[in-house]
A and B are shown apart, each in its own frame.
Chain A
């Protein structure tokens, strides 16, 4: 009995620390960022940094001096990056990968939606704690971006809940693992008519949530000195960069888990996982592509764009889902 608990505990610890947890997130997130940077450079006819560049950046920042400004509140300033990172890793644990999730049955899509707020909130609090006026501007923009993304995201997730619920006969289904199981059994959600606008809307939300072009108003390094991270240096900054990398991974894998789950070739044993990974990479490439071909928007344009175009798409999807299409 005790041994059993011990082994279970060890297994869960392994989940948290290694596979869908820290190590995996660290490596994959950083690699995705590296690929993104390389790809954007190539699209601009540049050579671009090596794919391992984010790792170099991370380790270099770890070795730098960490300065706490005199005006900052020390604890908040130093703790918020860690909280944000931990929350992101926890979200990653809840996202099912082709039916496998480390902690199934605990995650509902609205919970995930709100957990996604925590990293952003941590960054915002850290920025506020630094006391910098640039960080103040940055955090206000980040907050407006969050508001902008929230409405389409909510609509998309409700549409998904309704679609899966319709198919399962319960009317609505919030559980992430149920959605994954459904897709494994009935094919991925993207094959449904109602889910196509939702998928497009979700894909458009990803750049906004991760703060990538053209929605990177919050971290506009050329106008407001890196915005929220203006006063961060050294290891905390490294953690923020890592969080950003993991956020890309999290959102893309959430996207794939919601819309492209359950695609398998049936040729090899782990085909589902491989297809999943490929889908994640493809989505990341799409984000890079958007990054490369757009210029930064003004914050009010970001808001307008999300609350009209993207929300409109999501609403169409919700209405279609409501009438069972």
Chain B
């Protein structure tokens, strides 16, 4: 019963950790917009965590520049299981307009397994909410597997 409670709770209280890997701040602003009164994801239990140790969902924005690659990867590795990695915006998914630059290491998916991609440049807050909802489903499923 306790396990079931935990699995149920896992979907109801996902905490986000946001990593900016060289983003233009467009996506970052949208992610913050999600917390504002109009969208208010806190009613779904979402919360921005300050440290990766406390997070369930890692949201990566930005084209994963060469400087930030190792930092991003180590921060992601510090998130305890079960965790879910979400790329937000086009940059971490492909590199977007920075594609092919000598200093950009995107896509992120060639280094870690990315669970959810939220497309958009920058994504609309509704799209972010949808993506995070998908991420919580994956989270619950992962918790069930543990």
Contacts and interface: CB of A to CB of B under 8 A. Distances in A.
Given A44-B37, A46-B37, A229-B54, A59 B6 contact: yes
A226 B49 contact: yes
A64 B40 contact: no
Contact of B13 (A46, A56, A134): A56
Contacts of B56: 60, 64
Nearest to A49: B42
Contact of B51 (A47, A53, A229): A229
Contacts, number: 95
Given A56-B13, A64-B81, A233-B80, A47 B40 contact: yes
Q: How large is the interface on A (under 10, 10 to 19, 20 to 34, 35 or more residues)?
A: 35 or more
Contacts of A50: 43, 45
A150 interface: no
Contact of A53 (B5, B6, B45): B45
B50 interface: yes
Contacts of A48: 40, 42-43
Interface in A59-78: 59-60, 62-67
B53 A230 contact: yes
B143 interface: yes
A74 to B, nearest CB: 15
B54 A233 contact: yes
A60 B6 contact: yes
B9 to A, nearest CB: 4
B45 A225 contact: no
Return the 5 tightest CB-CB contacts between A and B, nearest first: A221-B50, A63-B6, A65-B80, A59-B9, A226-B50
Interface of A: 37, 41, 44-50, 53, 55-60, 62-67, 134, 220-222, 224-227, 229-234, 237
Given A60-B10, A67-B80, 14 more contacts: A41-B40, A46-B43, A48-B40, A48-B42, A50-B43, A55-B9, A59-B9, A64-B82, A65-B82, A224-B50, A225-B50, A231-B53, A232-B54, A237-B54
